[in-house]
A and B are shown apart, each in its own frame.
Chain A
Amino acid sequence: MLRGLATAVILLFFALDLALPATPVGVRGHEARVRAAVPQASTWLGHPLPSLSFEDLQGREVHLADLRGHPLLVTFERSVDW
């Protein structure tokens, strides 16, 4: 009885493992969001960036407008603490 139950549970998990999608949710979701955002992003080409503000490493607020006239590189990265 217990052996049958244990077998059923393990087989269920095994089937779930086999049925998992070919790419994990994180990758699928990320790709989908980026692809969906491309047409909207292309409409911003040639236009000034909207007013954005960020926090620097010292915790001070930095406004994009304050940096106007200076060369600026903005990158966005996902932070994963391994």
Chain B
Amino acid sequence: MRRSRGRRKLVAMHRATSFRWLCRVLGAVWIMLGLVLFVSFFAYQRPGSQALLPTGPWGHYFAAMAGCALVAWGGTLFAAAREPALGRGVGTATAVGLVGMALYRMAGWVVGDYYAVAGDTLRVEAGIFLLIALALVWLRPPRLPSLGSPTSEEVA
């Protein structure tokens, strides 16, 4: 009985560590990618500059917006890595986001327009995102017991 409890504790510890590392790595990648997208907008505005992204003014506009969102997303992932139990919802939200990203990649691959420039990349990326989403679902830390809101006497 005691051994089983110890083992369960060990598994929970490993799970929390893996969740932390997954959040850290994904957060770092998102922030770097976000910064590249953000900077590409400003680089595009310089007169006579070569566009970093293969798109026009509106493409750069929305890329910069996506970059800002990615930086914010990466930040929340770092926060979840610092405090996994409190960042439980971040894992779920990130998994949902990753599934969405996998779905549009699969659709783009099937239609075929992107195949000409990216080959099988979209399909491989979709598979990787789905695996990360699965890992986030299974490594998600357990819910903390609700502490409730303090009474007025406690606050006083």
By the criterion CB–CB under 8 Å, are A25 and B112 in contact? Answer: yes
Stretch in contact with the other chain, from A4-12, A36-44, A55-63: A4-12
Known: A18-B127, A20-B123. A10 touches B137 (CB 8 A): yes
Contact count A vs B, C-beta below 8 Å? 63
Q: Which residues of chain B from 111 to 156 have a CB within 8 Å of any chain A CB? A: 111-113, 115-117, 123, 126-127, 130-131, 133-134, 137-138, 140
Known: A3-B138, A14-B131, A17-B130. A9 touches B115 (CB 8 A): no
A71 at the interface (CB under 8 A from B): no
B102 at the interface (CB under 8 A from A): yes
Q: Which residues of chain B from 1 to 36 have a CB within 8 Å of any chain A CB? A: none
A72 at the interface (CB under 8 A from B): no
Bound complex: CA A13 to CA B101 (Å): 12
What chain B residues lie within 8 Å of A18 (beta carbons)?
A: 127
By the criterion CB–CB under 8 Å, are A11 and B115 in contact? Answer: no
A82 at the interface (CB under 8 A from B): yes
By the criterion CB–CB under 8 Å, are A17 and B115 in contact? Answer: no
Q: Which B residues fall within an 8 A CB radius of A?
A: 54-55, 95, 99, 102-103, 106, 109-113, 115-117, 123, 126-127, 130-131, 133-134, 137-138, 140
Q: Which A residues fall within an 8 A CB radius of B?
A: 3, 6-7, 9-11, 13-14, 16-18, 20-21, 23-30, 80, 82
